[in-house]
Structure formats: structure tokens, C-alpha cells
Amino acid sequence: MRPFTHLVPVALLLFTTLPSAVTSVNIVLSNDDGWAELNVRQFYKSLTSAGQSVVLSAPAIDQSGRSSLDAPPQPLNQPCQFNSCPKGSPATGSNATEPRYNYVNSYPVTAIRYGISVVAPKFFKAVPDLAVAGPNVGANVGAAALISGTVGAATEAAKQRIPSIAFSGTSGKPTAWNAKADSYNLIYSDLATNVTTTLIKSAKPYLPNNAWLNVNFPAVDNKCAKTSDFKFVLSRIYTAVPVLTPADVSTCGKTGRLPNERDVVNTKGCYASISVGLADTKLDADAITQAAVLAKLKSILSCLPA
């Protein structure tokens, strides 16, 4: 493996110089797989165990593949996902024993907006510092980002000037919140918490305006069986088109071109991709924005093998 190197424009140093003295922030969490899906509940537990203050605001039922659709929430004409609330329940609601768990009977974009505008002020008395979505059941690499509701939720938060991250994992299937956690649930939540807390420690502003992160985890298997087996690689969402695609940030000994996230996730050796996108288009960010993220996450970033 090549030693990790990076080039950061001098103008970005002020963006990343000072370490954060505050390790606990307010986070709104969402997804597109549903508020009662095990991945999102496990991520909530992992973030709170790491000392973060979190509220969950996610769809009442599975809304995978809904992209950035948006509609007013409606009363339930069917039970919530995994019978987590009965038919006829109101359009929005919360868990009786954990009011920080909230459902919204609409799309992921609608759900995270409700979390930002209604749930967060109730518990934080302020706008959230950060928004995270997932981990999604299934990877969201390349063009899949355009239709992903998990990505839709993250980009909606970024449009509201809240730094955001979408997490997705290759392994698993939709699983009820009260099932026993599998190894992939635990590993993905640990990895997602690592990225989140690393960004928090980098100090505000966590991300440039209009930027969001698309993070994809490879499969959990007998070769990638524990959290420490995984490595993060800075990537791009879409494959670069020769001549037409602008240069990326330079890193890992490669000038001006990052690997695309599909190649990263499919490389042997448990590599997870971290791409920098623009919220308003869901396309790759420019090299300056990528460099800002590179500087903030450099402590956890690695390089693909030669």
C-alpha cells in the first residue's frame, strides 16, 4: 500500500486548522428503509453511546428508492413497518417509551425535514449540528445515488445548510428493530459512527456549504468480519469521463483523479468509499471541496493497493 499523501490548497487551512473542543453535538438521523429497521436503530445506539445527542425521524414504512420525493404526511391506512404502530395511527408520531424515535408517514425527504423543523427544536432547542442517514440496506454507489431515498434525506439536510452524510451497506436485508443484531448491523454502525465522530472532531464548519458525503460499506463476510478490517478511501460518485470531467483532488500518489466508489467497494481488502457530492445536483463536488473533506478525514483515510 502506498503511504497516504494529500495536497490541500493554502486557502483551505483556515477551514481545518483548529481542533474542536466540543465532542458532543446534536444530530438528526433518518433513512429510507423505515424508522423501525434495525440498521438505523443500531446506528442511533452507537451514536448515543459515543456521547452524541440524537433524534430519529424516518418514514413510517419502507420508502426505498424514493429519491427526493416530498409530500405532506398522511394518517396510516396500514400498520407501520414491522407492526411498529397500528393502522389508523396519526401521520406523525413517536415511540411511547423513547420519544426520540419518530416516524413520518411520507417520504425520506419529508421525514428528515420534519426532524429538523419539529423534532430537533423539541429536544435540542436549536437546529441540528449534523444530519446522518442510514445505514441503508444495500449499497448506493454511482447512479444509485440519484434514486436513493437515504441520499435524498441527506441532500435535503445539506440544502438546509446542515452538514450531512448518507451511509449505505452492501450486506443485509430489511430487519425489524427488535431482532437480534447481526454482525453487519454492528460493524456498519461502528464504521458510520467512526466517520461521524471524526468529522465532528475536525471542528465546524464540518463540511462546505451544499456538500454532503456518500459513504458505502462493502460486504461483511469471513474476510471482512470485524470493524478493524475495514479501511476508508476517498472516492468519487461517478466514473470520470476523459477530457470532460474536471480534475479531482490529488491524493495517494495519483494526480487529479480519485477512484470511483464502485471500484473501491469491489476491491478486495474491505475498502469503504467516501465520496463528496453537491446537494443540489447529487453530482460530484469539485476538487476544492474534495480537498476540504480530505483534510478533515485524513486520520481515517487510506489508499487502494497499487
pLDDT for 74-120, tens place per residue?
Answer: 999 999 999 999 999 999 999 999 999 999 999 999 999 999 999 99
How many residues in the chain? Answer: 306
Superfamily of 10-302 according to CATH = Survival protein SurE-like phosphatase/nucleotidase (3.40.1210.10)
CB of 175 within 8 A of CB of 136?
no
Burial (Cβ within 10 Å: 0-12, 13-18, ≥19) of residue 123: middle
Quick one: which H or E segment has residue 48? helix 38-49
Q: What is the pTM of this model?
A: 0.92
Taking only the tens place, the pLDDT of each residue in 28-74 is: 999 999 999 999 999 999 999 999 999 999 999 999 999 999 999 99
Dihedral of the alpha carbons of 109, 114, 117, 122, in degrees to the nearest 10: -150
Q: With H, G, I as helix, E, B as strand and everything else as coil, classify residue 103.
A: strand
CB atoms within 10 A of CB 210: 16
In the chain, domain spans: 10-302
